[in-house]
């Protein structure tokens, strides 16, 4: 009987333990999912670092949580940490090898960011083994095969995409292009048609086939252009122009390719050829203006924009670019008027509101400038340049607290914006918040150690706080970068002198005043303070001479330099 009870007891105990374990697992799963969902929320709010930390918490609790590994990979990818993203995707795939979305995403990262094309194909193939009707992958796979020079396989990939999605016009375009591309010899065939048409000019069928060849060459150029293969695109456009030199639209597209390559003079020449043939092509006038602006030829750019607007007054982009050119020439009122015309048509362009704010500020219309920056920020709340400029205008208006808030918003988006740290420090300084000002200057100098004004302002503030040792260290750091700054040598001498009458400090102070005088012999304050330091050392005659010295400075400087 005792054995029966014992077995019963052990059975109940095991059963309860199993229930406890199941509950614990369920509870941990819930905790992990809560961290995962929190990570998703942070990721979607562009707080990606915090999102990754949340995914890590989920994975501490549940290391086989494949969705968390996947989303963690996405967050790392968006932060530019590509290799870590691949590692995270690989962890997800160890747990769930049939997770086709991860194979696809892994392929994208390998392609666009790391350029490992053979591995991209392997990743895409894995996704397609699991989900053969994934037409987006067939399409992208075709592009990668094309870039690897495997044209026949690329065509097959586009055709697989079209079997699943017959109305995919991009896949149709690239497949048809490659089929034509493999035939080649278009120019030679066109030349044969030309010879024939000299004999039989009324053969309309021959004319049709010649036109078709030109079309194929043009399509080839456009294909290369859209793939970013601009040299190949230009070569193809040139072939069209050898056959049909008055194809103005080809001259225009050729200009665009040169513009994207940064060959701006050639781009202008191409646009001008287009305009010789078709003087009312407003796009050619517009892009000619854009390139002239890039070359700094702003007057000519404005003339080009105005030709475009004569032809098409509602070509709203032109008003924006015209405003930028006018702004660059200092014609601020006209620039504001141009931005206004643009914003009447496109009021949701935050860049235009921003540029308008700059012009208004230059016109001393500070309140209007703030209002313009506010409009930009209504549309794009993370526009750190607008927050920064808004802060600067508010500072000039004497609204220091608001200026600091504006700088803080800029720095939340871009923590390494050194000018925002500097101007924030200046505003804090004006408010008497000296410790905070020093911290702000320090942040500016951490980002940009040679930011002269931040170091000068920091040093002055440190002196105000009588933190003279820190000030001296700061001058030393600055003088390593800019050893010919007499003000810095002079101020460092002041700081050392103020520390007391210790011999070593005073000797160093005198040496620093000597450096300042060596660079600027008529720096009377340095002569006077050098005399004070000498006086503290008991060298009264030298002290008097230093305080009185004005005429013999040239010889003194020569001695110091020697």
Same domain, 47 and 143: yes
Q: What is the CATH number of the domain that holds 176?
A: 1.25.40.10
* pLDDT value of residue 119: 78
Whether 486 shows a pLDDT value over 70: the answer reads yes
pLDDT for residue 301 is more than 90: yes
Q: Calculate the average pLDDT of the chain.
A: 75
Across residues 177-206, what is the average pLDDT?
54
Average pLDDT over residues 95-110: 74
Please tell me the predicted confidence (pLDDT) of residue 180. 63
Domain-located, residue 521? yes
For residue range 224-244, what is the model confidence (pLDDT) as tens digits? 555 566 676 777 778 778 777
- Beta carbons within 8 Å of 494's beta carbon, 6+ residues apart: 463, 509, 529
Residues 64 and 130 occupy one common structural domain = yes
Q: Given a cut of 50, is residue 560 above it in pLDDT?
A: no
- Do 38 and 168 belong together in one domain? yes
In total, how many domains does the chain have? 3
CA distance linking residue 457 with residue 466, whole number of Å: 14
Contact 231, 261 (CB under 8 A): yes
Residues 68 and 203 in one domain: no
Report the distance separating Cα 94 and Cα 454, nearest Å. 51
Q: Give residue 265's pLDDT band: very low, low, confident or very high (50, 70, 90).
A: very high
**Residue span of the structural domain in which 205 resides:** 189-244
441 or 213: whose pLDDT is higher? 441
Regarding predicted confidence, which is higher, 89 or 537?
A: 89
Whether the predicted pLDDT of 50 surpasses 80: no
Residue 332 inside a domain? The answer is no
The span from the CA of 335 to the CA of 321, in Å, is: 10
* pTM to 2 decimal places: 0.50
Q: What is the pLDDT of residue 135?
A: 84
- Where a domain ends, among 218, 244, 270? 244
Together in a domain, 218 and 70? no
Q: What does the pLDDT read at residue 304? A: 93
Residue 7 has pLDDT above 90, yes or no: no
Most confident of the following: 18-27, 42-51, 143-152, 519-528 = 143-152
Q: Are residues 92 and 132 in the same domain?
A: yes
Residue where a domain terminates, one of 133, 154, 181 = 181
- How is residue 557 written in tokens? 């400087």
Q: Is the pLDDT of residue 557 over 50?
A: no
Does residue 283 belong to any structural domain of this protein? no
Is 450 within a domain? no
Mark which of 164, 181, 198 sits at the end of a domain.
181
Cα-based distances in Å from 379 to 206, 314, 352, 359: 56, 23, 11, 19
**φ and ψ at residue 375, rounded to 5 degrees:** -65, -40
* Domain assignment present for 511: yes
More reliable by pLDDT, 342 or 249: 342
pLDDT (0 to 100) of residue 22: 47
Label residue 209 by pLDDT band (50, 70, 90): very low
Per-residue model confidence (pLDDT) at position 211: 45
Least confident of 151-165, 281-295, 338-352, 544-558: 544-558
In a domain, 281, yes or no: no
38 and 145 both lie in a single domain: yes
Is it the case that residue 280 has pLDDT exceeding 80?
A: yes
Query: Do both 121 and 100 map to the same domain?
Result: yes
Residues 45 and 166 in one domain: yes
CA dihedral 346→351→352→354, nearest 10 degrees, is 140
What are the pLDDT digits (tens) for 305-354?
A: 999 999 988 888 899 999 999 988 989 999 999 999 999 988 988 999 99
Does residue 476 sit in the same domain as residue 532?
yes
CB atoms within 10 A of CB 483: 11
Mean local confidence (pLDDT), 459-480: 67
Determine the pLDDT at residue 21: 45
Confidence of residue 53 (pLDDT cuts 50, 70, 90): confident
Confidence grade of residue 558 (pLDDT, cut at 50, 70, 90): very low
Q: For residue 469, how many other CB atoms are within 10 A of its CB?
A: 12
Identify the pLDDT of residue 19.
Answer: 52
pLDDT digits (tens, 9 = 90+) for 150-173: 778 888 888 888 888 887 777 877
- Indicate whether 246 pLDDT > 80: yes
pLDDT band at 202 (very low <50, low <70, confident <90, very high): low
Are both 117 and 202 inside the same structural domain?
Answer: no
Query: Residue 300, CB half-sphere, CA atoms under 13 Å: how many?
Result: 11
Of residues 24 and 323, which shows the higher confidence score? 323
Return the structure tokens found at 410. 């800029």
Residue 39 lies in a domain: yes
Instruction: Answer yes or no: is 400 within a domain.
Output: no
Alpha helix segments (H runs only) across 380-451? 384-396, 400-413, 418-430, 434-447
216 shares its domain with 148: no
């Amino acid at each position: 009987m005792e054995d029966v009870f014992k077995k019963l007891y052990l059975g109940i105990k095991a059963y309860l333990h199993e229930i406890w374990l199941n509950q614990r697992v369920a509870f941990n799963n819930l905790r992990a999912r809560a961290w995962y969902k929190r990570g998703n929320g942070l990721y979607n709010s562009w707080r990606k670092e915090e999102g990754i930390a949340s995914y890590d918490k989920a994975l501490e609790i549940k290391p086989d949580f494949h969705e968390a590994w996947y989303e963690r990979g996405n967050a790392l990818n968006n932060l530019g940490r590509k290799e870590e993203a691949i590692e995270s995707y690989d962890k997800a795939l160890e747990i769930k090898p049939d997770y086709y979305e991860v194979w696809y995403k892994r392929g994208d990262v390998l392609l666009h960011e790391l350029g490992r094309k053979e591995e991209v194909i392997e990743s895409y193939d894995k996704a397609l083994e699991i989900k053969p009707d994934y037409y987006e992958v067939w399409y992208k796979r075709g592009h990668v095969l094309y870039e690897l020079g495997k044209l026949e396989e690329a065509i097959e990939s586009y055709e697989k995409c079209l079997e699943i999605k017959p109305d995919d016009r991009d896949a149709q375009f690239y497949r048809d292009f490659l089929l034509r591309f493999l035939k080649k010899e278009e120019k030679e065939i066109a030349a044969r048609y030309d010879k024939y048409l000299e004999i039989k000019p009324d053969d309309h069928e021959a004319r049709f086939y010649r036109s078709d060849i030109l079309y194929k060459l043009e399509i080839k150029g456009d294909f290369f252009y859209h793939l970013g293969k601009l040299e190949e695109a230009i070569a193809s456009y040139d072939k069209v122009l050898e056959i049909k030199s008055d194809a103005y639209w080809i001259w225009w597209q050729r200009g665009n390719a040169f513009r994207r390559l940064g060959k701006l003079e050639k781009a202008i020449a191409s646009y001008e050829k287009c305009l010789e043939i078709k003087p009312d092509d407003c796009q050619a006038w517009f892009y000619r203006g854009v390139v002239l602006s890039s070359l700094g030829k702003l007057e000519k750019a404005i003339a080009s924009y105005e030709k475009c607007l004569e032809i098409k007054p509602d070509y709203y982009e032109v008003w924006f670019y015209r405003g930028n050119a006018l702004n660059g020439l200092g014609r601020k009122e006209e620039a504001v008027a141009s931005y206004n015309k643009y914003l009447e048509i496109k009021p949701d362009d935050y860049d235009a509101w921003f540029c308008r704010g700059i012009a208004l500020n230059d016109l001393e219309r500070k309140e209007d400038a703030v209002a313009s920056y506010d409009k930009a920020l209504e549309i794009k709340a993370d526009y750190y340049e607008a927050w920064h400029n808004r802060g600067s205008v508010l500072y000039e208006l004497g609204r220091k607290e608001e200026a600091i808030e504006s700088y803080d918003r800029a720095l939340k988006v871009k923590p390494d914006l050194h000018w925002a740290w500097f101007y924030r420090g200046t505003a804090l300084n004006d408010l008497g918040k000296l410790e905070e000002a020093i911290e702000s200057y320090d942040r500016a100098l951490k980002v940009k150690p040679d930011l002269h004004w931040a170091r000068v302002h920091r040093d002055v503030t440190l002196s105000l706080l009588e933190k003279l040792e820190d000030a001296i260290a700061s001058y030393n750091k600055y003088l390593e970068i800019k050893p010919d700054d007499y003000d810095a040598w002079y101020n460092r001498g002041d700081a050392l002198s103020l520390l007391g009458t210790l011999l070593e400090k005073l000797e160093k102070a005198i040496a620093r005043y000597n450096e300042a005088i060596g660079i600027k012999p008529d720096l009377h304050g340095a002569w006077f303070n050098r005399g004070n330091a000498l006086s503290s050392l008991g060298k009264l005659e030298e002290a008097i001479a230093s305080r009185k010295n004005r005429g013999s400075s040239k010889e003194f400087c020569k001695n110091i330099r020697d």
